[in-house]
Amino acid sequence: MAIAALTLAGCGADSSANTSAQPELKVTGAYMPAPSMDTMAAGFFTVTNTGGADTLTGVTSDLSDDITLHSTKNGTMEEEKSFAVPADGTLDFASGGNHLMFENLTHRPKEGEKVSVELRFAKSGTVKISMPVKSATYNPKTGH
């Protein structure tokens, strides 16, 4: 990503506008609560961006061919086509809010397992993460 940013800056000679800056994404705090069925699981994580704006456009994983992006509004979840990752900001997926929904699982992941997930971004491309499976009642704020 750093190389691409340099190339762009050299070409346009305009590195001042933050809107054209390359995103610098970091994904932290990923986890999946151990699902009680093999029909459905949720996934959570935080994207921290120290560069220009990006967009999360999709998710793939060996665990499921059917992964959708959901937001929660007034207690009701809605499917979203994409999520904005603001410049110098964060995109949060957390219990009770935004979440990944995995359906028709290839198997039921157990606590302690790691699920590999690829997050697809409009500018940054694919970011691979390893999503540890935690207990069904795991709370990232308390760590258990």
Residue 70 in the binding site for Cu ion (CB under 5 A): yes
Q: Rounded CA gap, 122 and 137, in Å?
A: 33
Q: 77 or 122: whose CB is closer to Cu ion?
A: 77
**Where in 20-59 is the site for Cu ion (CB under 5 A)?**
none
- In the numeric block, the tokens 């992006």 are attached to 69
Closer of 43 and 52 to Cu ion (Cβ): 43
Q: Does 77 bind Cu ion (CB under 5 A)?
A: yes
Task: Write down the residue that tokens 């560069």 correspond to.
Answer: 51
| Minimum gap (Å) between residue 101 Cβ and Cu ion | 4
Place of tokens 């995109």: 91
> Which residue's beta carbon is nearest to the bound Cu ion?
70
Which segments of the chain are extended strands (E)? Answer: 25-33, 40-49, 54-61, 66-73, 76-80, 83-85, 90-93, 99-103, 114-121, 125-134
Answer yes or no whether residue 94 interacts with Cu ion by CB under 5 A. Answer: no
Which residues would be at the binding site for Cu ion (CB under 5 A)?
Answer: 70, 77, 101
